[in-house]
Structure 1
């Protein structure tokens, strides 16, 4: 099984964005060395706990700090942007790092409503039915699909720089909608199990059953992304997971400005019955444990998604524990030997 990384550049307690990006680059170098398949970075806006607001800029630095691993966006939030500009950004990245770039595309807002308004320069949110058309335009500018028809007002436009390779294009989603669009457009599909612990396997099955070549690709590609907390023992992992439990709970209560909680804070928190029910439900988005437990759980997770590649995201209260989690996973699945 192949493992990739989704890194959201989390800002730890007592840290700032400068430290968060240093950690992202250190983690990217480690993932490259350890044999991970991909290193994706996310896009979030007006979010105090996550530093990554511009994946394209961050990917340029990650590419310069790595030599083998595929690098990509997890993902660019296309409804906010011109497909032409997105194509140019990724043509630049593909020219810098040929054959290593993934363009992962999402539809989520990526932040609070004011950030969405600012990103669109006050323009209204595009209607849902516009999304496939925008993807076709993107494919035309990247030359992964047919050019825009002669009746299109931008039919003669070409995105620069001109390069001989094209990024792999993935649609990212936490529901069946993105899977259905990906299957019609020929894109790869990555299910965000770390966002929604329900329905992903069915969405992937529908994608594989319905896939046909299109403007974004010719072959089906599937992976799924899940929170993983792996430590040297089950006890250490569970202690660390309690911090993540509380972080997700804070987010559900709209308390986004809080720093990442410590295990002590999690142990002392006065949980209500509703809180405990939400924590139990959120654990469906996570794989937690020592090496033996995690190896079995990840293998079963991959089988359930009919894929040989899982994207893991390890967010922990201490960067050293986060790095150790990725090191243990690489050892468990012999990533260097692949």
Structure 2
């Protein structure tokens, strides 16, 4: 690992009690602008559907908005859930984004549904996009259609039919494969693509996935060497106690999700602290706290460096999951902003 640890951001656009979707999106755009000023490497939006606490439903729309409000940071998807979409539509969307923000666009692709079975059925109502078994073929199709030369479809008549995601591309977005299983690691290695394991959601199997990716990697023209980084849930505040309080709303939301309880907007910090004890939830929360990075700046930076060194990476994408207090502005996320500010300063100073 190099002496400098690069930081990036994954944003699910959290929605808390008292916020509208517009408030939440405006807060995230402010966070993207801040990440750009602070020197973060990239800013990715997730794809989730029909969740009361998550507004990141349409990564291409959000990427376009963030690209228009930033100058140097890479913007992208973490990720587009490909079985929900026609490959040509994804290629066209990201070719347009590359034209809008040349050299700054990442297309992260995953194969998870991003929601429950009912919403998955609605997303895939047109039929052919739902063929998860064709995921590798759809990735290859997107890569071909995004290239300046485009792709060629052979019709049943035998005639060749050219397809391009945009008429006159000069470059293409960087395509990443995302996942949380051996399958995704092996596929990324086989295709010679950059790979990210969803460590922020499930750290189980991380070491094995990275080993499979690195040992099985087949060099590609665009990526002669394997390229990967880690994701992590992070909350940083001036004190460890404040960071712990800020982490609680998201911890409780994740516990509800894993216990299959009804989802709702994120609680404020005051609501989370005042909630009655729940033995099942508390057990899950305690386990998640051990995997998340929650603390004061110096401790958090040191833990991130240990994580990067342990897994041989020089970039970590943080999901800033700090909650909000009841009196904080609805269209801002001071806790998440402070996480990025304190972390950037601490990681930068520790590298000197």
1:232: which partner in 2? Answer: 238
Name the counterpart of 1:163: 169
- Does the Cα contact within 8 Å between 1:185 and 1:217 map onto a contact in 2? no
Q: Does 1:254 align with 2:268?
A: no
CA distance in 2, matches of 1:106, 1:2: 23
Q: Tell me, in whole angstroms, the C-alpha distance in 2 between the residues paired with 1:144 and 1:109.
A: 30
Q: Cα distance, 1:211 vs. partner? A: 0.8
RMSD: 2.4
- Secondary structure, counterpart of 2:251 in structure 1: helix
Say which SS state the counterpart of residue 104 (structure 1) adopts: strand
Match of 2:85 among 81, 84, 90: 81
Structure 1: how far apart are the matches of 2:264 and 2:256? 8
Residues 322 and 339, structure 2, Cα contact 8 Å, conserved in 1:
no
Which of these residues, 194, 206, 209, is aligned with residue 200 of structure 1? 206
Cα distance in structure 2, aligned partners of 1:119 and 1:209: 36
Residue 148 of structure 1 and its aligned partner are, at CA, apart by 4.9
Alignment deviations for residues 113-161 of structure 1 (CA, whole Å, 9 cap, x no partner)? 2221121125277444311111111111012899457588875222213
SS in 2 for 1:75: strand
Q: How far apart are the structure 2 equivalents of 1:237 and 1:195? A: 19
Q: Deviations over 1:61-102 (max 9, x none)?
A: 111100100000111111111111111111101011110000
| Structure 2 counterpart of 1:132 | 136
Task: Give the distance between the partners of 2:177 and 2:222, measured in 1 at CA.
Answer: 10
The equivalent of 2:39 in structure 1 is 35
Name which of 303, 310, 334 aligns with 1:320.
334
> Which of residues 285, 292, 313 in structure 2 aligns to 1:286?
292
Match of 1:68 among 55, 68, 72: 72
- Equivalent residue for 1:332? 346
Please list the CA deviations of residues 208-245 of structure 1 after superposition, one character each: whole Å capped at 9, or x if unmatched: 11111348754421011110011101111112222222
Deviation at 1:107, TM superposition (A): 1.0
Please give the TM-score of this superposition, normalised by the length of structure 2. Answer: 0.89
8 Å CA contact retained: 1:184, 1:214: no
Normalised by the length of structure 1, the TM-score is 0.92
2:122 corresponds, among 118, 124, 132, to 118
Aligned length: 337
Give the distance between the partners of 1:68 and 1:79, measured in 2 at CA. 31
1:277: how far off?
2.4
SS in structure 2 at match of 1:121: coil
Runs (5+) with no aligned partner, structure 2: 325-332
- Map of 1:54 onto structure 2: 58
